C-alpha cells in the first residue's frame, strides 16, 4: 500500500460549502492548467467539480485529448489506481496525474497481482513444454487492470481488452 499523509484538519473539519469554495478558488487560480476527471461512480459532491465525467477508459482518452489541446499541467483523477495509471499512460509525459486518495482501489483490478501473473505464466509454459506444445500463448488482460499487468501483457505480445470487445 502506498503511504499518504493525513489531510490537514482544516479540510477534514470543513463543511461541504467551504470545501467547494476552496476548490473553486484553486480552479480559478490554475485555469486551463488543471483538469478534474470524475468517474461516474463518484458522488455528486465530487462530480460537480469535474470537468469531464464518464467511465474509466473514456475519461482517460478524453483527458489525453484535452492535454494535447490546452496547456494542462495537472490531471486530478477522482477514481481508482488503474484509472489514474491509464490516464498517465495516455497523457503527455509533462502532465502530472494525481489520484487524491492513494487507497482508492478496485477489487477487480486487485485480483491479478504482478507476482502471481509471473508465477502463472511460468507454470503454464512449463506444463505446455512438458506436453510438447509448440504454439504460442497470448496473454490478454482487461482494461481494469494495473499498469504492471498491462506492461507484462504487452511485453509478451498480448492485448488489453474492454467490455465492448
- Number of residues in the chain: 165
What is the distance between the alpha carbons of residues 158 and 165, in angstroms, rounded to a whole number?
15
Percentage above 70 pLDDT, the chain:
99
- pLDDT value for 165: 67
Look at residue 7 in the predicted model and tell me its pLDDT.
85
Q: 142: closest CA among 64, 60, 82?
A: 82
Q: Which residue has the higher pLDDT, 110 or 157?
A: 157
**DSSP designation for 6:** P
The answer to whether 139 touches 152, Cβ cutoff 8 Å, is yes
Pairing of strands 74-78, 140-142: unpaired
pLDDT of res. 60: 94
Q: DSSP assignment, residue 33?
A: G
Q: What is the pLDDT of residue 20?
A: 94
Q: Are 160 and 150 in contact (CB under 8 A)?
A: yes
At 64-98, the pLDDT tens digits run: 999 999 999 999 999 999 999 999 999 999 999 99
pLDDT confidence of residue 1? 57
107: pLDDT strictly greater than 60? yes
Q: Which three cell numbers stand for residue 56?
A: 474509466
The pLDDT tens digits for 17-49 are 999 999 999 999 999 999 999 999 999 999 999
pLDDT of the residue at 22? 94
SS3 state of residue 150 = helix
Handedness of CA 109, 164, 53, 73 (dihedral sign): positive
CB-based contact 63:91 (threshold 8 Å): yes
The 3-state secondary structure of 77-110, one letter per residue? EECCHHHHHHHHHHCCCCCEEECCCCCCCCCCHH
C-alpha cell of residue 138: 497470448
The class that CATH gives domain 9-98 is alpha beta
Please determine, for residue 143, whether its predicted confidence score (pLDDT) is greater than 80: yes
6: pLDDT confidence band, cut at 50, 70 and 90?
confident
| pLDDT at residue 145, as a whole number | 92
Amino acid at each position: 500500500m502506498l503511504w499518504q499523509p493525513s489531510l490537514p484538519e482544516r479540510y477534514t473539519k470543513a463543511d461541504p460549502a467551504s470545501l467547494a469554495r476552496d476548490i473553486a478558488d484553486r480552479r480559478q487560480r490554475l485555469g486551463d492548467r488543471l483538469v478534474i476527471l470524475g468517474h461516474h461512480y463518484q458522488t455528486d459532491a465530487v462530480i460537480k467539480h469535474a470537468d469531464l465525467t464518464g467511465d474509466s477508459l473514456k475519461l482517460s482518452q478524453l483527458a489525453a485529448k484535452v492535454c494535447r489541446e490546452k496547456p494542462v499541467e495537472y490531471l486530478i483523477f477522482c477514481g481508482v489506481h488503474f484509472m489514474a495509471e491509464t490516464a498517465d499512460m495516455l497523457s503527455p509525459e509533462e502532465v502530472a496525474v494525481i489520484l487524491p486518495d492513494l487507497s482508492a482501489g478496485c477489487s477487480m483490478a486487485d485480483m491479478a497481482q504482478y507476482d502471481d501473473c509471473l508465477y502463472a505464466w511460468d507454470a503454464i509454459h512449463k506444463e505446455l513444454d512438458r506436453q510438447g506444445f509448440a504454439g504460442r500463448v497470448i496473454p490478454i488482460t482487461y482494461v481494469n487492470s494495473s499498469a504492471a499487468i498491462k506492461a507484462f501483457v504487452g511485453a509478451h505480445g498480448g492485448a488489453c481488452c474492454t467490455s465492448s470487445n
